[in-house]
Amino acid sequence: MPFIKMIFSWWNSATFGTLWTTWTQGSAVGEDEFGNRYFQNKDGSRRWVLYNGTVEASRVPPDWHGWMHHTFAEPPTKAPLKTKPWEMPHQPNLTGTPEAWRPQGSLQRSGQRPPATGDYQAWKPE
């Protein structure tokens, strides 16, 4: 079943063309903490990622993002990005997932909506 998903959809894994290019022309560069694998061609002019799971660009950490967009010459496996003490660890976009933030009163939070306070007056044209 995963192979059939791969053939007919690009968001479940890499397409057949990407896998073929990776196998014939790619050289492995490294892997991030999410299990995504990074590759480049022989002269380093083209760089790409094979996602571990759903294809979602926000799952690429900042150091690998900089390398993929040729901001950094060396990959994070050779020259790690220096983080500041106040920086939080990278977290992918959680919108649409069960871990997404839902404010108080949201229907998806399955809580009670706060009662109206009565301080609102509707606008009426004169």
Tens digit of pLDDT at every position of the chain (126 positions): 566 666 666 666 677 778 888 888 889 999 999 999 999 999 989 999 999 888 888 999 999 999 999 999 999 999 888 888 998 988 889 888 888 888 877 777 776 766 777 777 889 998
On whether residue 100 sits in a domain, the answer given is no
Q: State both tokens at 101.
A: 């933030």
Give the structural domain span for 74.
2-82
Quote the pLDDT of residue 5.
65
On whether residue 99 sits in a domain, the answer given is no
Q: Looking at the 3D structure of the chain, how many domains does it have? A: 1
On whether residue 108 sits in a domain, the answer given is no
On whether residue 67 sits in a domain, the answer given is yes
On whether residue 116 sits in a domain, the answer given is no
On whether residue 39 sits in a domain, the answer given is yes
On whether residue 8 sits in a domain, the answer given is yes
